[in-house]
Chain A
Amino acid sequence: MHPAPSLIIFTTLSGLGFGLLAWLGAGALVPTGWVGFVFYALGYGLAGAGLVTSAAHLGHPERALKAFTQWRTSWLSREAVLSVGALLLMAPHAAGSVFFATPLPVFGWLGAVFCVATVFATSMIYAQIRAVPRWHHWTTPALFLAFALSGGALLSGQITAAALLLALLAVVMVLHWHFGDRRLAEAGSTPETATGLGFMGRVRLFEPPHTGANYLLREMVHVVGRKHAVKLRVIALLGAAVLPALVLAALPASHLAAGLAIALHGVGLMASRWLFFAEAEHVVGLYYGRR
């Protein structure tokens, strides 16, 4: 799949933002006044920036409101509803903390639940797609949730929780790769099943239907991004999980240590999300002799 920058930015920023808001809402940290303002501005800023980038990805952003209508069937629609719900529910808690030094935990908790649900809905947009076997697996929601919760814990300075969640994240990342590498074969889709011609012999593309590019090839048969997959996996694992956990364990708690851990985590997150798209094989590639 094409690792579109807008999708990578959207999913990473909104994941971090909703992760942070979830921790704030759950009352792990109850900042008030200016400190509270900074935390909530960061949470809302990240989540909001993610949502704006995702709207920019649309062919017709001016019709984006229609995407709130099909929540009964569509995970994308559910994500839209849940994300706005999360931001609205969290608002009284945030405003109470920042302006009146009066947190409203009921709204905070409700908001936190919606934040986690939003991240889950985002992950299900990918996990529901059977035509991309690597995504169609429980490790996809696990990966998105582990990233959001550990990133949120880092941003909200929950050192013990962050260290534990980063260890969990490392395990989930490895599992996603481990299972992911077998998913296409398990799905059983081959050029033979795609054409139904397996009964005659081995099937190979002889002539493609068009000599130029097209939407399908650009969007779904993106194979160039996998060139440095192994190196990127190492960068992702070290950056997102291992090094930040070591920083938290080794350095005394300070803004500098936290900043370093967050920066490393951000780099690893980007690498991991790039791979999430670039390594995902869509079965339509079988019609084009590519995976």
Chain B
Amino acid sequence: MTSLPEKTDKKLGLVIDLDTCVGCHACVISCKEWNTQGYGAPLADMDAYGAHPEGSFLNRVHSFEVTPDEGPSAVVHFPKSCLHCEDAPCVTVCPTGASYKRAEDGIVLVNESDCIGCGLCAWACPYGAREMDPSEQVMKKCTLCVDRIYNDNIPEEDRVPSCVRTCPAGARHFGDLGDPDSDVSRLVAERGGMDLMPEQETKPVNKYLPPRAKDGLGETDVLAPYLDPVTEEADGFVGWLDRALSRI
């Protein structure tokens, strides 16, 4: 049934640090690399070497320019994937039961052998987290690397989502957001982690950590006061030249 579980035992999810992300897209690539060979149908690329290449991805990195009322703009790199919402609208619209949210850990998954490829779940997601595979015609989405995080056959440090393992900046964190004492929950509390589009009332599990305030230009250097010009009037040869030329 595509009804949502009343509550989930855990709320596994990601915490993404917008202060730290450098916009390298490594998570996009590692996600595609892992998920094209594991869970479900491969992530196809169409016209890969032609004029209009495109394919299905589970994670994409946007970059935004944020302009304050005063002062310079900032660029914020913004990775986006399924937020494993508590009130996931994508699950309840599914006519076949292919989309579901797991009661044990809250991961939202698609059972691809039941999916008829109607695309309604992708419409229902406000975040654009679901893409129809152009070749297999079934719905693809982030699985939170369900085939890594419980996988006893890989070294323990690899039992996190591929994007988290790959991020060179340490901008991605994985854990149980339902446990207030977990590392990720404490990080969210400390840094004021936020929901995307809260007005859509999806109750996302994934949280985003806002960029920290930047230092202002005025206080860039403690030595600045010593670099102020000490004399207004030039002397010596330049001073003579200045005075001579001013008189003409």
Contact = CB atoms under 8 A, between A and B. Distances in A.
A212 interface: yes
Contacts of B166: none
B199 A74 contact: no
Given A57-B118, A60-B137, A287-B128, A67 B96 contact: yes
B131 A284 contact: no
Nearest to A280: B123
A42 interface: no
Contacts, number: 197
A194 interface: yes
Nearest to B52: A212
B80 interface: yes
Given A59-B117, A59-B118, A189 B132 contact: no
Chain B interface helix/strand/loop/mixed: loop
B126 interface: yes
Given A203-B66, A215-B134, A287-B128, A194 B197 contact: yes
Contact of A200 (B63, B66, B78, B118): B66
B116 A212 contact: no
Interface in B94-111: 94-98
A67 B18 CA distance: 40
Given A131-B89, A194-B197, A219-B122, A70 B64 contact: no
B26 interface: no
B200 A130 contact: yes
A210 B54 contact: yes
A227 interface: no
A196 interface: yes
A197 B74 CA distance: 11
Interface string A117-154: 00000000100111110000000000000000000000
A193 B126 contact: no
B2 A70 contact: yes
Interface residues on B, range: 35 or more
Contact of B195 (A196, A201, A219): A196
Interface stretch (A75-83, A162-170, A230-238): A75-83
Interface string B12-36: 0000001000000000100000000
Contacts of B198: 193
Interface residues on A, range: 35 or more
B62 A58 contact: no
B234 interface: no
B143 interface: no
Nearest to B62: A209
B245 to A, nearest CB: 47
B1 interface: yes
Contacts of A67: 95-96, 116, 118
Contacts of B201: 130
Which of the listed residues B76, B134, B136 has the most CB atoms from chain A within 10 Å of its own CB? B76
Contact of B116 (A60, A199, A216, A282): A60
Nearest to A199: B210
A114 B46 CA distance: 43
B123 A282 contact: yes
Contacts of A204: 64-67
A202 interface: yes
A74 B18 CA distance: 36
A67 B97 CA distance: 8
Interface string B168-205: 00000000000000000000000000111111110000
B196 to A, nearest CB: 6
* 3 tightest Cβ-Cβ pairs between the two chains A and B: A59-B117, A59-B137, A201-B68
Interface of A: 1, 57-61, 63-64, 66-70, 72-77, 80, 125, 128-132, 187-189, 191, 193-197, 199-210, 212-216, 219-220, 282-284, 287-288
Given A125-B93, A196-B208, A283-B126, 5 more contacts: A66-B96, A68-B95, A74-B92, A200-B76, A201-B73
